[in-house]
Amino acid sequence: MSASDRPPPARGRPRRTARLAAFDGDGGPDPALLADCVHCGFCLPACPTYALWGEEMDSPRGRITLMEWARAGEVGLTKEVVRHWDSCLGCLACVPACPSGVRYDLLLAAARDQVERRFRRPWDERWLRRGLFAILPHPARLRAAVSVVGMAERLGLMGLVRRSPARGPIAVRLRAPLELLAASRDPAQGIGPSRERRRRRAAAARPRRPAGGAPRLRVALLTGCVQRVLYGASNARASRVLAAYGAEVWVPPGQGCCGALELHGGRTAAARARMRRLIAVLDIPGVDRVVVTAAGCGSALRRGAEPFADDPAWAERAAALAARVRDVTEVLAELGPPAEGLGELRCRVAYHDACHLAQAQGVRAEPRAVLRAIPGLELLELSEPDLCCGSAGVYNLTDPEAARRLGARKAATIAAVAPDLVVAANPGCQVQIASALRAGGTPLPVLQPVDLVAAALRSGGGRR
């Protein structure tokens, strides 16, 4: 076994209040939901970390067992227990695999909430997490970070970083975000005639975009936080494509982060505050759909009332919003392509199922249908389609080694079908896969589905 085959070391200790009990009675995994698990093991083959390490405790079944023990006071909130929960990507591949319908997503969120409140991580992890959550949900800060890395790339400093001999865990941790940011250039730039860049800011600032013809649907576009900065052009394209497909597109101003990253990381209180703010912004009368271009945001908003279990007023608003949230490809599939048709795009496209689209929202057919409608486009299916790419919120930053191995595995399955480009519906996946492909020596652009639809519109009859 080489060093990288092993899971990360267990570190940290419970806070003083968690000395005798892993969980306090406020929240924590619901015993009724825990009891749903019959420990059959169907989830094991679906679990990426079980695939990596083959350790029972790094499978959903093992993690649920740990939650049961922790709930009953059989184990404390020890660093080993927390390590097993932390290693979970939250990809939710186990949820559709479960024959008993265990809500692992809810259980994991509840356990992580307890960990974040009651466990003290070592200083470096603490600062890393603090830093990530201080930057990622704030577009202006993230934009500054991106431009710094871009400048470093141009000055050739990133080569130094890559060649640096430091291989310790902290060096790996510091390198991961730099590598990922360097891999996050707008991948669609070279495809089709480009007048994007000039339009990009203007489109984001323009609140409403009239539909091409009589509006068949009024939609509000969620700009997202990471999405807006790394793939803002995709947002602009999404709003143009939606307009071409016959929707009236609003981009409500004043949108912040939806809290998905924090929810995923167990920072429930902060996530709730963000969700409340966003729900207030998106609660516009007369809007039929709230369109999301980032699968992570969509899955968080579609959880609806569940994060607001103890707050009935907001639970109702969240549920009302959740009922209107759709992924952009769902809306495009619903509207159907415009009358003037799509232009030809001769390319082989590998489609990656983003976990939070396919597993969490159950959206698998629509993006494929939308892409297959483009003439000339050959859609390629990957082997192991349900295996997470390793992005998983901030996982590839907090646990870069495991994420790298999953990314390499994903890159290999992509390389095996020899595509011209890759499509993934989540900015995290895009960055992760682009970085993994580059590391594997087969750099390919990784696009959002709407990027391709926009390119097809431009090369075809739609002249806008």
Partner 1 sequence: MVTPAAGVGAVLRRAAGDGAVRPATARDRVAGVQPSWVVRPQAVEQVAAVVQAADARGWSVVPRGGGGGMAGGAAPSRCDLVLDLTGLDRVIEHVPGDLVVAVEAGVTLAALQDRLGPAGRQRLMLDAPPPPRGPAPTLGGLVAAAAAGPRRHRYGTPRDLLLGARFVLADGTVARTGGRVVKNVAGYDLCKLLVGSRGTLAVVVELTLKLHPAPAAAAMVTVERVAAPDLVPLVALVRRSPAVVTAAEALWPERSVLLRVEGPPRVAAGEAALLARAVGGRVLAPEAGERGWSRCLRRPWAGRGAVVAVAVAPGRVGELAACAEALACPAALRIGLGVGLVRTADDPTALDRLRDAVEAMGGCCDPQRVSPIGAERVASRPPAGALRLMAEVRRRFDPHGTLAPGRLAWGGP
Sign of CA dihedral 144, 149, 152, 154: negative
Alpha helices by DSSP H, 90-168 = 94-97, 104-118, 123-135, 139-154, 157-163
Q: Compare residues 56 and 420 and give the one whose CB is closer to partner 1.
A: 56
Interacting residues toward partner 1 by CB under 8 A: 17-21, 23-26, 28, 57, 66, 69, 71-76, 78, 80-81, 84
Find the shortest distance in angstroms from Cβ 71 to partner 1: 7
Find the shortest distance in angstroms from Cβ 54 to partner 1: 13
Q: Compare residues 114 and 432 and give the one whose CB is closer to partner 1.
A: 114
Distance CA 442, CA 66 (A): 40
Distance CA 279, CA 299 (A): 14
List the beta bridge partners of residue 249: 209, 219
269: nearest Cα among 158, 122, 109, 148: 109
Distance CA 184, CA 437 (A): 12
Find the shortest distance in angstroms from Cβ 19 to partner 1: 7
The conformation of residue 9, written as its DSSP 8-state character, comes to: P
Other Cβ atoms within 10 Å of 351 Cβ, number: 22
Return the structure tokens found at 87: 């290693």
Other Cβ atoms within 10 Å of 168 Cβ, number: 8
Distance CA 258, CA 3 (A): 37
Find the shortest distance in angstroms from Cβ 73 to partner 1: 2
Helix (DSSP H) and strand (DSSP E) numbers for the chain: 24, 11
Q: Compare residues 78 and 194 and give the one whose CB is closer to partner 1.
A: 78
Find the shortest distance in angstroms from Cβ 107 to partner 1: 15
Backbone angles phi, psi at 46, to 5 degrees: -85, -15
Q: Compare residues 40 and 72 and give the one whose CB is closer to partner 1.
A: 72
Q: Compare residues 270 and 403 and give the one whose CB is closer to partner 1.
A: 270
Return the structure tokens found at 50: 């079980």
Q: Compare residues 14 and 462 and give the one whose CB is closer to partner 1.
A: 14
Find the shortest distance in angstroms from Cβ 308 to partner 1: 17
Q: Compare residues 61 and 71 and give the one whose CB is closer to partner 1.
A: 71
Q: Compare residues 22 and 243 and give the one whose CB is closer to partner 1.
A: 22
Find the shortest distance in angstroms from Cβ 81 to partner 1: 6
Find the shortest distance in angstroms from Cβ 262 to partner 1: 21
3-state helix, strand, coil in the chain (%, to 5): 55, 10, 40
